[in-house]
Amino acid sequence: MKIHSAEFELSCVKPEQYPRERLLEVAFVGRSNVGKSSTINSLLNRKKLSKVSVTPGKTQTLNFFRIKTADKIIPDMFFVDLPGYGYAKVSKSVRQQWGPMIERYLSEREQLFAVVQLVDSRGVEAHDVTTYEWLCHIGHPPIVVTTKVDKLNRSQRNPCLTKLCQSLQLPNPDDVILYSAKTNEGRLELWKAIRERRETAE
């Protein structure tokens, strides 16, 4: 995928702050510190577009990034980086605000055509399962991406993939994209999945 430009647009917490330009949108969800920002940077061939933090819960708003590509199917769109679910080093009151903010966006945003759910390749947690089930329930079955596969050796990959599929009740392991933001493994596959999701949404 050739990227013409990728720029941070804005951060927001409520619908009236969303971008007024009605571009198509791809949302990235996953538990805190799963590698959402690193994956976005990898997809866009940028090193520091989306800020990466070792502190879980650093992303506390909906962050919109305007993307322009050379692809005719998805030439212009927003990537939307959502706050991580699960553990985060923030106050309980802040975490309680995230839930409604994220749910409102995912369930009501008309421009949203694809949701990418990132799951750590080293283990699925309860939050991953409930998020996957909820996304399917609201009509946004996610593109499942398992991150940090560079931390697994070859003998560990199949068992981890099998466990992930069992946890999410995915019948086909080929539906899961193995991704490494460090090596860019899975980059082409994820772009292909996003493109196909757009084609089927038309």
Ranges 14-23, 97-106, 158-167, 182-191: which has the least confidence: 97-106
The model's pTM? 0.89
Helix, strand, coil tally for the chain in percent (to 5): 40, 25, 40
Average pLDDT (57-84) is: 87
More confident position, 101 or 162: 162
The predicted structure's pLDDT at residue 163: 92
More confident position, 13 or 99: 13
The predicted structure's pLDDT at residue 201: 73
Backbone angles phi, psi at 70, to 5 degrees: -90, 0
The predicted structure's pLDDT at residue 95: 46
Tens of pLDDT, residue by residue over 100-134, are 788 889 999 999 999 999 999 988 988 899 999 99
Query: In the structure encoding, which two tokens stand for residue 154, read together?
Result: 């070859």
Query: How crowded is the C-beta side of 109, counted as CA atoms within 13 Å?
Result: 29
CATH number at residue 82: 3.40.50.300
On average, the pLDDT of the chain sits at 87
Residues ≥6 apart with Cβ < 8 Å to 159: none
pLDDT score of 89 more than 90: no
Say if CB 63 and CB 149 are below 8 A apart: no
Distances from the Cα of 199 to the Cαs of 73, 77, 114, 202, in angstroms?
A: 7, 14, 11, 6
Domain extent, residue 56, equals 3-201
pLDDT score of 202 more than 70: no
Ranges 3-17, 66-80, 88-102, 118-132: which has the least confidence: 88-102
Query: How crowded is the C-beta side of 102, counted as CA atoms within 13 Å?
Result: 24
Q: How many domains does the chain have?
A: 1
